[in-house]
Each structure stands twice: as structure tokens, then as C-alpha cells.
Amino acid sequence: MSGFVRRSERHKGWQALALAAALMLALPAAAEVPQRVVSINLCTDQLAMLLAAPGQLVSVSNLARDPLASAMAGQAAAYPENHGLAEEVFALRPDLVLAGTYTSPATTALLRRLGVRVETFAPASDMDAVRAEVLAMGTALGRDEAARAMVAQFDADLAALRADPATGPRAALYYANSYSLGDKTLSGQILAAAGFRNVGAEAGLSIGGTLPLEVLILARPDLVISGQRYPGASRSEEVLDHPALAALGTASARAAMADRDWICGTPYVLRAVRALRAARDGLTE
């Protein structure tokens, strides 16, 4: 009888070991530090380039090399590019793919079905989201310490640049199709950090929407900010050349800011804040 008990106990011991081994195999891939990372989104491209260990990032999207859209176009030239196609990405043998929440669902779903780990990042909507995106990328890459150091430097640099918008000059963000942005957006927070009051927010925009030209003219902002023009022509941009807006320029300044510093929630938004601070200082001299 005692022999049976010992065999039974040994059997239970083997079962426990087998269960423990199965549980270890079932641990999520997120617990492992990825060795071959592919990014297929403009913003994850830049976050990954900022934080990845040498040799860890093996490809970025073709958009990362666009100097009009990417704040790191020069650095991106050192990486093989991809076009976000599932078969193209899978051939790179990634153990982690970085995507945006608006990346093609068909692409991310297919990669997941093929057993590839995919992490998605939402567009940053404010300065807190910039911090969160950096920390999330650090976790995804197994680079938490580097991410925390980057956030600490970001906060210190932002504090040094920040100006009080309460009594500052008034500025309007004004783009093709009379599109503008309110204060509950990353662009709006960049504007506030540089010490400007937001004309779009005064007109009732909290996020993004149309700011009619007539409303803009009557608001008489101290500064009108537009994005850089892209090659070619578009009827949607004709409003930016309207004579009434040109006449407004006699009473207010106009500035074209590089889109690449505003698009993504990375520490490069501080370059946009710095450029606006210089414009603000020029208005108040």
C-alpha cells in the first residue's frame, strides 16, 4: 500500500511539473524582450528609433523618411523601410510589430493570426499622452529605464519652455478647408505651452473642426499659424490665400510651422513649442 502511495505522489509531482511548464509556455510574449522589431506607423517609427536598443529595430515605415512628416527623417534612412503590408512585414521575421490604432485592421489581424505579436499605439491627444506613449514604448521594447529617463528630460525641458497663456497673445491654428484645433488636442496644448490663447477654443472648438474665415477675421488674432505647403496644389488650400486673410496680415503675424514637429506624440513636440515661443517673443518685443 505504501508503494502505491509513493507512486501516486510521484505521479502528482510529475503532473505539477507538467502544469508549471505549460503555464510558463503560456506566458504572454510581452514578458520577453523582443529582438526583431518592425514598425509600420509614422509615430511608432519615431518612438522606436528614440528608444530601441542597438540592432533591436529592424525596419520602419516608408513615411519615416518623409522630411515633411517625420521629425526623424535623417535617422530613418539608416533602417530598411517597409510599406505596412502584412506579407512584407512577416518576411522580416519580427517578434514584435508596432502599429497605430488606425493602421489597416486587415494587416494587424493577419499578422496576429500568423502568431506575430502586435502592439498598437493611439494618436497622442495631449502632453500627458506624450508621456504615456513614451513609457508604453519603453515597456514594449523592454527599455523601461530609458523611457523613464526620456520622460524626465521631456518634463524638465517643457517646464523651462512653458509660458502662461492666461495673458498671452491670441493665436489661431488655421489649415486647409478652414480647419482649426481647440484646446483639448495636442496642437492646442503645444499652443498653450508656448503662452498663446487659442482663438479656435474661443470660437467653441474643443477638439477639431471648421473655423469659418469670417470668424477668424473678426477674431483678429495676433498670430495665424498654418502648416507647411506640400508639393502640388489643392483647392482645399485656396482659403489660405484669400485676400481677406492677406489683409489680416497687416494687423497680425502669420507663421508656417513644420508639421513634422506637431504630428506625433514624441519629445519632438518641444521643437514646436520652442518655435512658437520665439514667435511669441517677437510679438511682445
- Here the CATH number for the domain that contains residue 186 is 3.40.50.1980
Mean pLDDT, the chain, rounded, equals 87
Q: Are residues 133 and 112 in the same domain?
A: yes
d(CA 281, CA 277): 6
- Which of 125, 158, 191 is a domain's end point? 158
Q: Is the pLDDT of residue 190 over 70?
A: yes
Q: Is the pLDDT of residue 167 over 60?
A: yes
Q: What is the mean pLDDT of residues 231-252?
A: 75
Domain that holds residue 223: 164-284
Q: Is the pLDDT of residue 252 over 60?
A: yes
pLDDT-derived band of residue 8, with 50, 70 and 90 as boundaries? very low
Q: Is 45 exposed, middle or buried (0-12, 13-18, 19+ CB in 10 A)?
A: buried
pLDDT-derived band of residue 235, with 50, 70 and 90 as boundaries? confident
Would residue 22 count as lying in a domain? Answer: no
Q: Which residue has the higher pLDDT, 146 or 240?
A: 146
d(CA 268, CA 73): 12
In degrees and rounded to multiples of 5, residue 159 shows phi and psi of -60, -35
Q: What is the mean pLDDT of residues 239-268?
A: 82
* Greatest mean pLDDT among 6-15, 184-193, 225-234: 184-193
Would residue 26 count as lying in a domain? Answer: no
Q: Is the pLDDT of residue 255 over 50?
A: yes
Q: State what percent of residues in the chain have pLDDT above 90.
A: 71
Q: Which of 79-88, 140-149, 275-284 has the lowest mean pLDDT?
A: 275-284
pLDDT-derived band of residue 154, with 50, 70 and 90 as boundaries? very high
Q: What is the mean pLDDT of residues 2-9?
A: 43
- Beta strand pairing call for 208-210 and 57-61: unpaired
**For residue 22, what are the CA distances in angstroms to 15, 17, 26, 29, 230?**
10, 9, 6, 14, 55
Would residue 103 count as lying in a domain? Answer: yes
- Which of 123, 158, 193 is a domain's end point? 158
Q: What is the mean pLDDT of residues 37-50?
A: 98
Q: What is the mean pLDDT of residues 204-212?
A: 94
Q: What is the mean pLDDT of residues 238-265?
A: 80
Q: Are residues 215 and 272 in the same domain?
A: yes
- Are 34 and 56 contacting, i.e. CB atoms less than 8 angstroms apart? yes
Would residue 24 count as lying in a domain? Answer: no
Would residue 13 count as lying in a domain? Answer: no
pLDDT-derived band of residue 236, with 50, 70 and 90 as boundaries? confident
Q: Is the pLDDT of residue 9 over 70?
A: no
Q: Are residues 200 and 81 in the same domain?
A: no
Would residue 23 count as lying in a domain? Answer: no
Q: Which three cell numbers stand for residue 208?
A: 477639431
- Which of 108, 123, 158 is a domain's end point? 158
pLDDT-derived band of residue 29, with 50, 70 and 90 as boundaries? very low
pLDDT tens digits, 96-137: 999 999 999 999 999 999 999 999 999 999 999 999 999 999
Give which of 36, 37, 100 is closest to 63, Cα–Cα.
100
Would residue 88 count as lying in a domain? Answer: yes
Handedness of CA 147, 152, 157, 158 (dihedral sign): positive
Would residue 231 count as lying in a domain? Answer: yes
Domain total of the chain? 2
Q: Are residues 172 and 83 in the same domain?
A: no
Q: Are residues 176 and 97 in the same domain?
A: no
d(CA 263, CA 265): 7
Q: Are residues 173 and 214 in the same domain?
A: yes
- Angle among Cα 158, 160, 164 to the nearest 5 degrees reads 85
179 DSSP β-pair partners: 175, 210
